[in-house]
Amino acid sequence: MTDVEPGDERGGRDPEGGPGHGAHGVGGELPAVDLVVLAGGRGERLGGADKAALVVDGRTLLERVLDVDLGGRVVVVGDTPVPDGVHRTLEDPPGGGPVAGIAAGLDLLDGVGSAVPEAPAAGRGGAATPDPAPAAWVAVCAVDQPAATVGLGLLRDALPGADPSVDAVGPVDGQGRRQWLLAVYRQTALRSALQRVGQPRHAAMRTLVADLSWHDVVVGPEHLGDIDTWEDLRRWDP
């Protein structure tokens, strides 16, 4: 288990813009990590609201998670609007749960390779540039976690120190519970796990990750937690 200190909310650069946790880690260069953002869920206890569109500190939850730069390709799974240049897909049929969303995201990654997005990413200007090459690791992140950018940056920092046999790197909370939807997975291991599951629709995350070997990273409670209710939202955005 690794105990790490948080960087800033943009995934590991210091306030002056120089390289921090997000540039190098113990053991050398950090590997690129693809990102699959699960944004297809509707909050039943939020009256069916689109969680990706909820606002915390002036930005939507989707905008917050897309702030992170892991050096890889980015796919959003859901029917929520996405910035220009971000790849988007949806499980078929929709509403199949997180395992189905992960499967759909990986399927799209198979197709984007080094493809050029349709338009330049918002705020970057200029012509669209090719996607990064496929990465050995992929982060899976549910969109309803306001501090996910910090957690994802810390997990990427931990990759060089993980044993080569490890299949996944993820945070544990104060009770030692793994956060499966804020984790970085070796792509080959995650794809093999999906094959073992078979039908991903409504499959349990616990079943998907049951046979994976983990490298646990202790992340502060202020960087964990999701939004399921309006009370949760008020705690994050008083």
**In the predicted structure, residue 63 carries a pLDDT above the cut 90:** yes
Overall residue count recorded for the chain in this entry: 238
Note the pLDDT tens digit of each residue in 157-167.
Answer: 999 999 999 99
Note the pLDDT tens digit of each residue in 74-129.
Answer: 999 998 889 887 899 999 888 899 999 999 999 999 887 644 344 444 444 444 55
| 237 Ramachandran zone, left/alpha/beta (phi>0; psi -120 to 50) | beta
So what's the pLDDT on residue 128?
53
The reported pTM is 0.81
In terms of pLDDT, which residue wins out, 173 or 158? 158
Residue with token string 């306001």: 146
Paired with 140 in beta bridges are 36, 183
DSSP 126: S
Q: What angle do CA 96, 97, 101 make, to 5 degrees?
A: 85
Nearest to 84 by CA among 124, 45, 143, 114: 124
Q: Report the SS3 class of residue 122.
A: coil
CA distances in angstroms from 214 to 23, 151, 186, 189, 197, listed in the order given: 23, 16, 10, 11, 19
Nearest to 102 by CA among 66, 118, 78: 78
CA distances in angstroms from 131 to 34, 85, 103, listed in the order given: 10, 10, 20
Note the pLDDT tens digit of each residue in 182-235.
Answer: 999 999 999 999 999 999 999 999 999 999 999 999 888 888 999 999 999 998
Nearest to 99 by CA among 38, 49, 55: 38
The CATH number corresponding to 2-236 among 3.90.550.10, 3.40.50.720, 3.40.190.10, 2.20.25.90 equals 3.90.550.10
Say if CB 61 and CB 143 are below 8 A apart: yes
So what's the pLDDT on residue 44?
76
